[in-house]
């Protein structure tokens, strides 16, 4: 098949960027990486990109296709070429470009190092044998363990674009890898550290990382798990944590979100005073429900019962989110089977 | 101390050296986590006995038998005895292994193993090992020179004292000095067009050692893995069969009943690959492949134990193994041969050590058992790291590789880079891969091997005149890929030399047309190949036996 591409080239010697057109013959099963290989072999030997395993596990070939991060080796070209689409290939975002499609991953690894990316065991010493851990306990971090450090999430992260010091999705997912590991003895210390400025609560929940992760690590969910674990351990000084906490308090007390109190509960009284003029405008337009008497939902007892159940079964923290993910996977699988039957 | 290569063996060696107090750095042409160790899927063997009765002696016997009696038995006994301790250490470092219901490390059955012995993490075992080792490298702040392409070993007064590297990111040759050097550069699967190996697996360390005059051992033994995807050659783990998958021919027959009635699909890899190739050659294949059928395992098992294999089959073959059988065929996978070392990783050259696939200790002999290669990287990576560190620490302060080595390398490289007229390397690379598969594949014939020697000579001649199109300094992968092809061509030469000379069928070296039997009288020996002034020389070396005499091998 004929495959056409546009590639953003960058020549470091001249500091020049250029969008170039390429068209090559490729076998029908070709991936984007195969097509780049053909271009490099037969058209231009100076084209630079990273590659190694070509089976989605080494994480070398992260790059952007039409503005979104992909693994080149995972991206099949058949349908794109058949549709007559000419994709634009460029280097990953949020990282300095070295040449063509090759980026400098030093900032990526710097963030990784900042989260203490290795098991820090507690006092329990299993001696000359393994730790005994049930499959369910170990399963908590099964997604985070899939991360191949390709950088696709980092490339797409909106918070990182606004704040280059943000720890970012890959490093935080790695953090969850250890927070959720029963063998690690420094959970509280880790959560304290990840909860600081540029940490957990600076994620804007845009879910771009989750959408673009080629391995199903789901970094945004990992950050949510860290948040839940932090709250469980009473680490809730950050405004983001306070904000989340008020949602829970609202749900269990009234069954509704108590919006009027959300600002003072999140930002504190002093900072809320500054918001009074804005609140007055909202009030005038009828956008602020009066806080007293509180608006209590008819079935608030059910919300309270749910809250009690989660506490009782110890499913606050990351465990509850993991359980939810598993349930969703099961539902998706059943739906897939039903579809196939039809 | 320098460790060349950042895969499992290299990182394990560096960690050991760092813990002994050596000033060690890792030099690798790709970032350590990108190493091909990470693509290992099915597992790592140690006789923990968590699933059934097992012990290191049983593991040793299975390995000896699997090696078709060519493995060195003293090395194998050390290997199986130390493996369990190494696994526990990985677990203590935080390795993410799959657990059994009791909460201990789960162990699955693997080919030619007398007990379920393979510890695993679903089907991404290599990935979790690479991750935990790199975590430990970061913890120790071991310096990593990544994207440094090693090109030449530097020798002075009969000792290895460093490496000349091409700095891929910035360009230019760099001279790195070390009181000891560990080679851990992996295998050379890229010699073959159909291979499970990454683009990076170009036998760099083996070729550098060969060029430095060192002996390579048992280079004719290239393992063909029975289940690689059609057409890409991407690996589907032996764990699929370990979990119970069938091999089926075009007549819907579980053909392994004919070839290995007891072990069936879990016979050793050489046996299964030959059986598949026979079925294909006799017309019972589909597109030069046969089927791997997992449907009866059920969705639950596939999703929890083999999710990576499912993803690979869906992405690269368009087949969901829950619902359909997958087309697979034998593909080049693992080099049993390599740089000859002793049991602590030392080579013939003082100061130079080797571990992992680049080395030939030999634990695997003529055929490696699935799950033994990851274990070898850890156990022998640790052992080589320890000896190399001890040597570095024992030497007096300071070592500087001679500047002349850098000057020589710069002059030679300039000759390559200055060339503007001639052929680019890719055609030579493709012709090498296709001809090696055709003439040195699962079954080997005298006339094909002889013809292949001529083909390789022709390709080497053309290689003398190749042109590197990229003349820039920054990330010049056009240059490094050309240098890699040079490594492959040198290795192909010694492989053919040893292949022709071994006039028997043993393990992965099968000659059904002229020498169908194993010949212990003449060939219970390691082939040793050297490069002497451009010519390949061959000699033989006895296998080290301890307690197992050769027997007929049946599964």
The per-residue pLDDT for range B500-513, each reduced to its tens digit, is 999 999 999 999 99
Q: Which two tokens stand for residue B34?
A: 């990108």
The matching CATH number, chosen from 3.30.70.1520, 3.90.930.12, 1.10.1060.10, 1.20.140.10, for A105-258+294-342 is 1.10.1060.10
From A94's Cα to the closest Cα of chain B, the distance in A is 19
Contact B391, B45 (CB under 8 A): no
User: Is residue A252 exposed (0-12), middle (13-18) or buried (19+ Cβ within 10 Å)?
Assistant: middle
Q: Which two tokens stand for residue A131?
A: 């730790």
Contact B201, B190 (CB under 8 A): yes
Which residue(s) pair with B176 in the sheet? B163
Give B291-346 pLDDT, tens digit per residue: 999 999 999 899 989 999 999 999 999 999 999 999 999 999 999 999 999 999 99
From A55's Cα to the closest Cα of chain B, the distance in A is 7
Average pLDDT estimate for B412-421: 95
DSSP H helices, chain A, are 32-38, 78-82, 106-114, 135-139, 152-156, 158-162, 168-179, 187-194, 208-212, 219-232, 239-253, 259-267, 269-273, 276-284, 300-312, 318-341
A207: left (phi over 0), alpha (psi -120 to 50) or beta: left
Instruction: Supply the pLDDT for residue A63.
Output: 98
From A318's Cα to the closest Cα of chain B, the distance in A is 18
B475: which residues sit within 8 A by CB, 6+ positions away? A48, A98, A99, A100, A102, B168, B169
All residues of chain B having their beta carbon less than 8 Å from the beta carbon of residue A41 are 424, 426
Continuous segment of H or E residues that includes residue A51? none
Inter-chain residue contact B99 with A134, CB threshold 8 Å? yes
Continuous segment of H or E residues that includes residue B207? helix B204-211
Q: Which of B103, B198, B470 lies at the smallest CB-CB distance from A134?
A: B103
All residues of chain A having their beta carbon less than 8 Å from the beta carbon of residue B477 are 40, 48-49
Report the CATH number that the domain containing residue B230 is assigned in CATH. 3.90.700.10
Contact A138/B at CB under 8 A: yes
Least confident span in A248-252, B89-93, B546-550: A248-252
Final residue belonging to a domain, choices B331, B347, B364: B331
All residues of chain B having their beta carbon less than 8 Å from the beta carbon of residue A146 are 124, 127
B431 and B325 in a common domain: no
All residues of chain B having their beta carbon less than 8 Å from the beta carbon of residue A55 are 39, 234-235, 312, 316
All residues of chain B having their beta carbon less than 8 Å from the beta carbon of residue A132 are 102-104
Q: Cα A125–B375–A186 angle (5° rounding)?
A: 30
Determine the Cα–Cα distance for residues B482 and A46; give it in Å rounded to an integer. 12
- In this predicted structure, the answer to whether residue A292 has a pLDDT above a threshold of 80 is no
Determine the Cα–Cα distance for residues B194 and B210; give it in Å rounded to an integer. 25
Inter-chain residue contact A13 with B232, CB threshold 8 Å? no
Contact B350/A at CB under 8 A: no
A2-103 maps to which CATH number?
Answer: 3.10.20.30
Contact A113/B at CB under 8 A: yes
Inter-chain residue contact A53 with B34, CB threshold 8 Å? yes
Q: Which two tokens stand for residue B225?
A: 């893995």
Contact A122/B at CB under 8 A: no
**Integer distance in angstroms from the first to the last C-alpha of chain A?**
33
- Residue ranges of E strands in B399-450: none
Tell me which residue of B88, B65, B58, B64 sits closest to B76, measured CA to CA.
B64
Q: Is B362 among the domain residues? A: no
All residues of chain B having their beta carbon less than 8 Å from the beta carbon of residue A13 are 472-474
Inter-chain residue contact B34 with A52, CB threshold 8 Å? yes
Determine the Cα–Cα distance for residues A327 and A312; give it in Å rounded to an integer. 20
Contact B431, B421 (CB under 8 A): no
Tell which wins on pLDDT, A269 or B429.
B429
Average pLDDT estimate for B514-530: 97
- In this predicted structure, the answer to whether residue A11 has a pLDDT above a threshold of 80 is yes
B372: which residues sit within 8 A by CB, 6+ positions away? B45, B63, B66, B79, B363, B364
Continuous segment of H or E residues that includes residue B308? helix B307-317
Instruction: Supply the pLDDT for residue A257.
Output: 87
Q: Give the three-class secondary structure for B528.
A: strand
Determine the Cα–Cα distance for residues B290 and B274; give it in Å rounded to an integer. 12
- In this predicted structure, the answer to whether residue A260 has a pLDDT above a threshold of 90 is no
Q: Which of A60, A149, A333 lies at the smallest CB-CB distance from B299?
A: A333
Contact B167/A at CB under 8 A: no
Per-residue pLDDT band at A125 (split at 50, 70, 90): confident
Q: Which two tokens stand for residue B437?
A: 């598969």
| Residue owning tokens 């619902």 | B323
Domain count, chain B: 2
Contact B543, B524 (CB under 8 A): yes
Long-range contacts of A20-28 (CB under 8 A, 24+ apart): A21/A86, A25/A1, A26/A1, A26/A2, A26/A77, A26/A81, A27/A1, A27/B231, A28/A1, A28/A78
Contact A76/B at CB under 8 A: yes
Average pLDDT estimate for B397-415: 94
Say what angle helices B204-211 and B477-501 make with each other, to 10 degrees: 70
Domain spans, chain A: 2-103, 105-258+294-342
Peptide linkage before A51 cis (omega within 30 of 0): no
Q: Give the three-class secondary structure for B145.
A: strand
Q: Is B155 among the domain residues? A: no
Instruction: Supply the pLDDT for residue A259.
Output: 82
Q: Is B280 among the domain residues? A: yes
Q: Is B487 among the domain residues? A: yes
Per-residue pLDDT band at B61 (split at 50, 70, 90): very high
**Strand-by-strand arrangement of the B107-108 sheet:** B44-45, B118-119, B107-108
Domain residues for the domain of B236 are 225-331
Determine the Cα–Cα distance for residues A161 and A98; give it in Å rounded to an integer. 18
Average pLDDT estimate for A41-62: 98
**CB within 8 Å of chain A, chain B residues 290-319:** 299, 303, 308, 311-312, 315-316
Final residue belonging to a domain, choices B331, B350, B375: B331
Inter-chain residue contact B30 with A56, CB threshold 8 Å? no
Determine the Cα–Cα distance for residues A52 and A146; give it in Å rounded to an integer. 18
**Which residue in chain A has the smallest CA separation from B140?**
A118
Inter-chain residue contact B92 with A42, CB threshold 8 Å? no
- In this predicted structure, the answer to whether residue A230 has a pLDDT above a threshold of 90 is yes
Average pLDDT estimate for B162-175: 97
Q: Which of B39, B96, B299 lies at the smallest CB-CB distance from A58?
A: B39
Which residue(s) pair with B177 in the sheet? B162
Contact B397/A at CB under 8 A: no
- In this predicted structure, the answer to whether residue A289 has a pLDDT above a threshold of 80 is no
Tell me which residue of B216, B215, B236, B217 sits closest to B226, measured CA to CA.
B236
Instruction: Supply the residues of B annotated as catalytic.
Output: 269
From B331's Cα to the closest Cα of chain A, the distance in A is 15
Continuous segment of H or E residues that includes residue B222? strand B222-229
Instruction: Supply the pLDDT for residue B337.
Output: 98
Radius of gyration of chain B from its Cα atoms, rounded to whole angstroms: 22
From B147's Cα to the closest Cα of chain A, the distance in A is 10
Tell me which residue of B210, B235, B217 sits closest to B225, measured CA to CA.
B235
All residues of chain B having their beta carbon less than 8 Å from the beta carbon of residue A100 are 475
Inter-chain residue contact A135 with B303, CB threshold 8 Å? no
Q: Which of B33, B94, B232 lies at the smallest CB-CB distance from A119?
A: B94
Say what angle helices B426-439 and B446-463 make with each other, to 10 degrees: 170
All residues of chain A having their beta carbon less than 8 Å from the beta carbon of residue B475 are 48, 98-100, 102
Give B234-258 pLDDT, tens digit per residue: 999 999 999 999 999 999 999 999 9
Per-residue pLDDT band at B119 (split at 50, 70, 90): very high
Determine the Cα–Cα distance for residues A240 and A260; give it in Å rounded to an integer. 17
User: Is residue A106 exposed (0-12), middle (13-18) or buried (19+ Cβ within 10 Å)?
Assistant: exposed
Backbone φ and ψ for B539, nearest 5 degrees, come out as -140, 180
B534: which residues sit within 8 A by CB, 6+ positions away? none
Give B384-399 pLDDT, tens digit per residue: 999 999 999 999 888 8
From B129's Cα to the closest Cα of chain A, the distance in A is 11
Instruction: Supply the pLDDT for residue B512.
Output: 96
Least confident span in A107-116, A159-168, A282-291, B469-478: A282-291
B409 and B512 in a common domain: yes
Instruction: Supply the pLDDT for residue A75.
Output: 97
Contact B124/A at CB under 8 A: yes
Q: Give the three-class secondary structure for B26.
A: strand
Q: Which of A12, A105, A134 lies at the smallest CB-CB distance from B474?
A: A12
Give B194-239 pLDDT, tens digit per residue: 999 999 999 999 999 999 999 999 999 999 999 999 989 999 999 9
All residues of chain B having their beta carbon less than 8 Å from the beta carbon of residue A27 are 231
Contact B350, B160 (CB under 8 A): yes
Determine the Cα–Cα distance for residues B494 and B339; give it in Å rounded to an integer. 12
Average pLDDT estimate for A285-290: 81
From B512's Cα to the closest Cα of chain A, the distance in A is 33
Inter-chain residue contact A57 with B121, CB threshold 8 Å? no
**Which residue in chain A has the smallest CA separation from B123?**
A146
Contact A57/B at CB under 8 A: yes
A236: which residues sit within 8 A by CB, 6+ positions away? A230, A242, A245
pTM of the full structure: 0.96
From A52's Cα to the closest Cα of chain B, the distance in A is 5
Contact A186/B at CB under 8 A: no
Instruction: Supply the pLDDT for residue A258.
Output: 86
pLDDT averaged over every residue in chain B: 97
Q: What is the DSSP string of A145-181?
A: GG-----HHHHH-HHHHH-TTS-HHHHHHHHHHHHT-
Peptide linkage before B362 cis (omega within 30 of 0): yes
Give B439-485 pLDDT, tens digit per residue: 999 999 999 999 999 999 999 999 999 999 999 999 999 999 999 99
Q: Which two tokens stand for residue B196?
A: 């499970």
Contact B473, A98 (CB under 8 A): no
Per-residue pLDDT band at B534 (split at 50, 70, 90): confident
Inter-chain residue contact A45 with B124, CB threshold 8 Å? no
Contact B145, B176 (CB under 8 A): yes
- In this predicted structure, the answer to whether residue A294 has a pLDDT above a threshold of 80 is no
Contact A73, A56 (CB under 8 A): yes
**Which of B99, B139, B189 is the best substitution to test chain A (most A C-beta atoms within 10 A)?**
B99
**Which residue in chain B has the smallest CA separation from A179?**
B94
Contact B115, B47 (CB under 8 A): yes
pLDDT averaged over every residue in chain A: 94
Per-residue pLDDT band at A334 (split at 50, 70, 90): confident
Q: Regarding beta strands B107-108 and B44-45, do their DSSP bridges make them parallel or antiparallel, or are they unpaired? A: unpaired
Q: How far is CA B462 from CA B211, B286, B486, in A?
A: 19, 36, 11
Contact B121/A at CB under 8 A: yes
Final residue belonging to a domain, choices B315, B331, B347: B331
Largest separation between any pair of C-alpha atoms in chain A: 76
Q: Which two tokens stand for residue B535?
A: 């010519």
B511 and B408 in a common domain: yes
Backbone φ and ψ for B395, nearest 5 degrees, come out as -75, 155
- The rounded Cα B179 to chain-centroid distance in angstroms is 26
Contact B198/A at CB under 8 A: yes
**CB within 8 Å of chain A, chain B residues 11-50:** 30-31, 33-36, 38-39
Backbone φ and ψ for B155, nearest 5 degrees, come out as -115, 145
**Integer distance in angstroms from the first to the last C-alpha of chain B?**
44
Report the CATH number that the domain containing residue B438 is assigned in CATH. 1.20.58.100
Instruction: Supply the pLDDT for residue A22.
Output: 98
From B503's Cα to the closest Cα of chain A, the distance in A is 35
Burial annotation A189-228 (CB, 10 A radius, 16+ → b, else e)? ebbebbbeebbbbbbeeeebbbebbbbebbbbbbbbbbbb
Inter-chain residue contact A117 with B235, CB threshold 8 Å? no
């Amino acid at each position: 098949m004929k495959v056409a591409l546009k590639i953003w080239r960058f020549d470091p010697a001249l500091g020049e960027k250029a969008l170039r057109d390429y068209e090559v013959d490729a076998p029908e099963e070709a991936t984007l990486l195969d097509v780049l290989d053909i271009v490099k072999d037969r058209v231009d030997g100076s084209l630079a990109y990273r590659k190694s395993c070509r089976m989605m596990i080494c994480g070398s070939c992260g790059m952007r296709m039409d503005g979104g991060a992909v693994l080149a080796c995972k991206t099949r070209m058949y349908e794109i070429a058949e549709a007559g689409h000419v994709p634009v290939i460029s280097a990953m975002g949020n990282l300095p470009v070295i040449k063509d499609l090759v980026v400098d991953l030093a900032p990526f690894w710097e963030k990784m190092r900042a989260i203490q990316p290795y098991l820090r065991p507690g006092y329990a010493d299993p001696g000359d044998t393994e730790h005994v851990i049930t499959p369910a306990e170990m399963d908590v971090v099964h997604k985070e363990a899939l991360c191949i450090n390709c950088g696709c999430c980092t490339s797409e992260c909106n918070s990182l674009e606004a704040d280059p010091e943000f720890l970012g999705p890959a490093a935080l997912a790695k953090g969850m890898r250890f927070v959720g590991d029963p063998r690690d003895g420094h959970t509280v210390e880790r959560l304290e550290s990840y909860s600081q400025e540029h940490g957990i609560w600076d994620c804007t929940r845009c879910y771009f990382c989750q959408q673009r992760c080629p391995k199903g690590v789901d970094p945004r969910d990992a950050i949510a798990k860290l948040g839940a674990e932090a709250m469980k351990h009473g680490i809730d000084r950050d405004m983001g944590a306070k904000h989340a906490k008020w949602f829970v308090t609202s749900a269990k007390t009234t069954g509704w979100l108590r919006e009027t109190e959300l600002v003072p509960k999140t930002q504190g009284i002093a900072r809320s005073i500054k918001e009074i003029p804005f609140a007055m405008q909202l009030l005038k337009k009828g956008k602020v429900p009066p806080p007293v008497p509180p608006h209590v939902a008819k079935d608030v007892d059910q919300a309270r019962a749910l809250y009690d159940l989660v506490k009782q079964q110890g499913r606050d923290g990351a465990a509850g989110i993991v359980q939810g993910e598993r349930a969703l996977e099961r539902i998706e699988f059943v739906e897939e089977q039903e579809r196939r039957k039809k | 101390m320098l460790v060349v290569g950042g895969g499992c063996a290299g990182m394990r060696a560096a960690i050991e050296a760092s813990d002994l107090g050596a000033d060690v750095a890792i030099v690798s042409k790709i970032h350590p986590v990108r190493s091909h160790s990470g693509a290992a899927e099915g597992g790592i063997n140690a006789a923990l006995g968590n699933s059934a009765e097992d012990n290191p002696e049983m593991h040793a016997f299975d390995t000896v038998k699997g090696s078709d009696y060519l493995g060195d038995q003293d090395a194998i006994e050390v290997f199986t005895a130390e493996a369990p301790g190494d696994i526990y250490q990985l677990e203590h470092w935080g390795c993410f292994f799959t657990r059994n219901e009791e909460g201990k490390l789960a162990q699955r059955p693997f080919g030619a193993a007398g007990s379920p012995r393979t510890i695993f993490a679903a089907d991404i075992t290599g990935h979790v090992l690479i991750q935990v080792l790199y975590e430990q490298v970061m913890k120790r702040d071991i310096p990593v020179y990544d994207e440094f392409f090693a090109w030449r070993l530097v020798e002075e007064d009969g000792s290895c004292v460093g490496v000349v590297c091409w700095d891929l990111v910035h360009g230019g040759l760099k001279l790195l000095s070390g009181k000891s050097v560990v080679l851990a550069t992996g295998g050379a699967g890229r010699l073959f067009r159909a291979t499970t190996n990454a683009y990076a697996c170009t036998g760099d360390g083996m070729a550098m050692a060969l060029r430095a005059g060192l002996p390579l051992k048992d280079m004719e033994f290239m393992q063909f893995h029975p289940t690689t995807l059609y057409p890409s050659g991407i690996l589907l783990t032996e764990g699929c069969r370990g979990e119970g998958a069938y091999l089926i021919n075009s007549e819907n027959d579980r053909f392994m009943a004919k070839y290995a009635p007891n072990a069936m699909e879990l016979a050793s890899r050489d046996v299964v690959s030959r059986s598949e190739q026979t079925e294909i050659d006799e017309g019972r294949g589909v597109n030069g492949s046969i089927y791997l059928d997992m449907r009866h395992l059920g969705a639950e098992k596939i999703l929890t134990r083999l999710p990576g294999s499912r993803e690979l089959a869906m992405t690269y073959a368009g087949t969901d193994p829950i619902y359909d059988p997958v087309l697979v065929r034998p593909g080049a996978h693992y080099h049993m041969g390599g740089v000859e070392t002793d049991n602590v990783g030392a080579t013939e050259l003082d100061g130079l050590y080797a571990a992992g696939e680049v080395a030939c200790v030999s634990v695997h002999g003529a055929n490696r058992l699935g799950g033994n290669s990851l274990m070898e990287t850890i156990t022998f990576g640790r052992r080589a790291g320890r000896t190399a560190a001890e040597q570095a620490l024992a030497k007096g302060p300071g070592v500087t590789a001679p500047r002349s080595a850098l000057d020589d390398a710069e002059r030679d490289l300039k000759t390559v880079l200055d060339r503007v007229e001639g052929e680019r390397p890719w055609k030579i690379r493709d012709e090498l891969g296709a001809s090696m598969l055709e003439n040195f594949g699962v079954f080997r014939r005298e006339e094909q091997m002889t013809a292949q020697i001529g083909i390789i000579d022709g390709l080497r001649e053309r290689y003398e005149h190749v042109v590197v199109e990229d003349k820039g300094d920054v990330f010049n992968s056009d240059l490094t890929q050309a240098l890699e092809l040079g490594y492959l061509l040198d290795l192909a030469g010694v492989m053919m030399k040893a292949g022709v000379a071994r006039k028997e069928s043993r393990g992965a070296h099968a000659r059904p047309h002229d020498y169908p039997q194993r010949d212990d009288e003449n060939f219970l020996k390691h082939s040793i190949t050297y490069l002497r002034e451009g010519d390949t020389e061959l000699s033989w070396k006895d296998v080290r036996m301890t307690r197992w005499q050769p027997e007929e091998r049946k599964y």
